[in-house]
């Protein structure tokens, strides 16, 4: 699998196969004859990628069926869980049985589930719980090959599964955001209804409720984008009937421009933060100062510097630069974010310091390269900023605004600014990835904007 990390997957060094290995949860262990689920996914990345999804869903449904039965879950979840359960017993999920022997044992098991509810006088079954009734029916006659139509919960879950971000930290934020949006929609509608049942009136009710709750228009707009994406996915991939009720839903115009939510940091604040970090004579302090200096001197995004590899720092060329490119553990925000950013002044000194001593770790900042590192870095930088300014518009990300403002004041062309910051130039155009002449042009732009020494004069 290279550097791609999949949950429950490890490579067997002897056979070369990637193995799906998942321990059976303790609370349902007595329902299975094994302690863990094991399945070979293949040797190549393509084989593993093709087999992982169905395998992971299959065992997840088995666990769900053992833990919750068929109550309290959506019809689509119930259908998938029953299918996985019947298959795990070696039964045909879509018929009463492949042969007489299978039909006999299935009827015996089903009879045991409902026998206690049979009236001895009339012979009728009375008060059979939903879980027993549903499972017995599946054993008697099988389940439909067609999955039931999706509910809102089904749609949000399937959308997340299909569009899950590969980076664990990005995925965590993505999951939390979609869960909040899902919860708000279901709360407004009062139930987890079918996607096909959601009307335009329901969409307007959601919008009006969010506005009356005092939610910022910018937040509502982001939530609406997520909802429309989920509904489009449900209609296109889950065969949900109807139309997207949230499509072209009008929102009020925000009185606050997106740029006004963040503001460039005053030069003195940047300098003060450098001083504070320089006084931290610890590995963490040195890493924070290096990161802050590179952010200030390149205008790069936090994730681009936090996930920087040492091999991405190229100094043995006439115009030293950092190579910002897609990594398995550091996906880029957009395709045009891939770029080469020249190093000048303090940023160049910092880059040299990082390479001194021939470090063995692949990452430039191993303290922040592990899981949760991005959150730890954000918290540390926010704390450093807040010590010197209480303006809520002043945040670590403001350094990108600083670079943008410096470039504007130096009258650097918009296309050059876009290439430096990893912004799109517009439809059909891409930033130049970086030839020698272009690197010189970008370096000159940084020098025009910041001077040859930059703001943070010394690394440590």
Under 8 Å between Cβ of 423 and 324:
no
Give the pLDDT score at 62.
75
> Residue 243: is its pLDDT beyond 60?
yes
**How many structural domains is the chain composed of?**
3
> Residue 69: is its pLDDT beyond 70?
no
Domain boundary among 141, 166, 183: 141
Residue pLDDT, tens place only, 362-390: 899 998 988 788 889 999 999 999 999 98
Average pLDDT, the chain: 85
Nearest to 64 by CA among 116, 131, 7, 112: 131
Whether residue 318 sits in one domain with residue 186? no
> Residue 458: is its pLDDT beyond 70?
no
Confidence band for 436, pLDDT divided at 50, 70 and 90: low
Residue-number span of the structural domain to which 362 is assigned: 267-450
Contacts of 135 (CB under 8 A, 6+ apart): 69, 70, 82, 85, 110, 113
Whether residue 90 sits in one domain with residue 16? yes
Whether residue 289 sits in one domain with residue 330? yes
Does any domain span residue 182?
yes
> Residue 87: is its pLDDT beyond 60?
yes
Under 8 Å between Cβ of 264 and 405:
yes
Domain CATH number, residue 202:
1.10.150
pTM over 0.75: no
Contacts of 322 (CB under 8 A, 6+ apart): 294, 298, 300, 308, 312, 313, 314, 340, 341, 343, 351
Domain boundary among 110, 141, 172: 141
> Residue 152: is its pLDDT beyond 50?
yes
Domain CATH number, residue 371:
1.10.443.10
Does any domain span residue 455?
no
pLDDT higher at 407 or 437: 407
Mean pLDDT of 133-141: 89
Whether residue 234 sits in one domain with residue 171? yes
Residue pLDDT, tens place only, 110-133: 888 888 888 888 888 888 887 788
Cα 105 from chain centroid? 45
Separation between Cα atoms, residue 371 and residue 360, nearest integer Å: 19
> Residue 300: is its pLDDT beyond 90?
yes
Whether residue 409 sits in one domain with residue 284? yes
Whether residue 432 sits in one domain with residue 309? yes
Give the pLDDT score at 2.
40
Looking at the DSSP bridge assignments, the partners of residue 21 are 38
User: Could you tell me the end-to-end alpha-carbon distance of the chain, in angstroms, rounded to an integer?
Assistant: 39
Give the pLDDT score at 81.
84
Whether residue 130 sits in one domain with residue 231? no
Give the pLDDT score at 247.
94
Separation between Cα atoms, residue 423 and residue 435, nearest integer Å: 18
Residue pLDDT, tens place only, 312-361: 999 999 999 999 988 877 777 777 788 999 999 999 999 999 998 657 77
Nearest to 290 by CA among 305, 311, 270: 305
Whether residue 190 sits in one domain with residue 125? no
**Percentage of residues of the chain with pLDDT beyond 90:** 45
Does any domain span residue 87?
yes
Whether residue 285 sits in one domain with residue 403? yes
Does any domain span residue 203?
yes
Under 8 Å between Cβ of 327 and 309:
yes
> Residue 1: is its pLDDT beyond 80?
no
Does any domain span residue 118?
yes
Nearest to 183 by CA among 153, 215, 226: 153
Give the pLDDT score at 70.
55
Domain boundary among 225, 256, 287: 256
Of 135-144, 213-222, 401-410, 426-435, the range with the lowest mean pLDDT is 426-435
User: What b/e readout covers 327-338, taking b as 16+ CB neighbours within 10 angstroms?
Assistant: bebbebeeebbb
HSE (side-chain half, CA atoms, 13 Å) at 422? 24
Does any domain span residue 261?
no
Mean pLDDT of 271-296: 92
Confidence band for 445, pLDDT divided at 50, 70 and 90: very high
Whether residue 73 sits in one domain with residue 16? yes
Whether residue 400 sits in one domain with residue 296? yes
Separation between Cα atoms, residue 189 and residue 137, nearest integer Å: 31
Give the pLDDT score at 303.
87
Does any domain span residue 1?
no
pLDDT higher at 436 or 432: 436
Separation between Cα atoms, residue 129 and residue 155, nearest integer Å: 27
> Residue 189: is its pLDDT beyond 80?
yes
For 192, counting Cβ atoms within 10 Å of its Cβ (0-12 exposed, 13-18 middle, 19+ buried), the class is middle
Whether residue 320 sits in one domain with residue 242? no
User: What b/e readout covers 203-235, taking b as 16+ CB neighbours within 10 angstroms?
Assistant: beebbeebeeeeeeeeebeebbebbbebbbbbb
Give the pLDDT score at 357.
66
């Amino acid at each position: 699998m290279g550097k791609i990390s999949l949950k429950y997957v490890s490579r067997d060094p002897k056979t070369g196969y990637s193995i799906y290995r998942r321990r059976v949860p303790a609370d349902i262990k007595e329902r299975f004859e094994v302690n863990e689920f094991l399945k070979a996914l293949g040797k190549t990345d393509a084989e593993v990628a093709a087999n992982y999804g169905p395998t992971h869903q299959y065992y997840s449904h088995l666990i769900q069926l053992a833990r919750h039965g068929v109550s309290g879950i959506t019809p689509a979840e119930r259908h998938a869980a029953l299918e996985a359960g019947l298959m795990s017993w070696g039964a045909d999920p879509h018929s009463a049985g492949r042969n007489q022997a299978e039909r006999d044992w299935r009827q015996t098991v089903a009879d045991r589930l409902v026998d206690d509810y049979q009236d001895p006088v009339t012979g009728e079954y009375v008060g059979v719980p939903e879980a027993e009734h549903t499972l017995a029916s599946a054993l008697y006659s099988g389940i439909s090959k067609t999955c039931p139509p999706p509910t809102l919960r089904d749609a949000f879950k399937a959308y997340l599964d299909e569009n899950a971000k590969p980076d664990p930290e990005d995925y965590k934020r993505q999951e939390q955001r979609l869960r909040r949006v899902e919860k708000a929609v279901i709360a407004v509608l009062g139930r987890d209804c079918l996607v096909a049942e959601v009307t335009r009136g329901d969409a307007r009710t959601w919008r009006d409720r969010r506005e009356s709750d005092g939610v910022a228009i910018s937040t509502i707009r982001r939530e609406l984008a997520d909802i429309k994406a989920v509904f489009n996915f449900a209609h296109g991939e889950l065969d949900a009937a109807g139309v997207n009720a949230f499509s072209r839903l009008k929102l009020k115009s925000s009185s606050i421009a997106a740029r006004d939510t963040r503001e460039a940091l005053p030069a003195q604040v940047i300098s003060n933060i450098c001083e504070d970090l320089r006084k931290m004579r610890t590995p963490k302090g040195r890493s924070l100062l290096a990161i802050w200096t590179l952010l200030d001197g390149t205008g790069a995004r936090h994730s681009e510097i936090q996930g920087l590899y040492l091999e991405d720092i190229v100094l043995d060329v006439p115009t030293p630069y950092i190579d910002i490119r897609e990594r398995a553990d550091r996906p880029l925000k957009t395709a045009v974010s891939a770029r080469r950013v020249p190093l000048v002044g303090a940023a160049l000194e910092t880059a040299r310091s990082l390479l001194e001593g021939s470090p063995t770790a692949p990452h430039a900042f191993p303290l922040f390269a592990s899981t949760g590192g991005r959150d730890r870095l954000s918290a540390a930088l926010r704390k450093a900023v807040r010590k010197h300014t209480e303006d809520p518009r002043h945040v670590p990300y403001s350094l990108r605004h600083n670079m943008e403002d410096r470039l504007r004041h130096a009258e650097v062309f918009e296309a050059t600014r876009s290439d430096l910051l990893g912004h799109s130039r517009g439809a059909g155009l891409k930033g130049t990835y970086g030839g020698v002449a272009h690197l010189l042009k970008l370096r000159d732009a940084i020098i025009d904007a910041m001077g040859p020494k930059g703001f943070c004069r010394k690394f440590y």
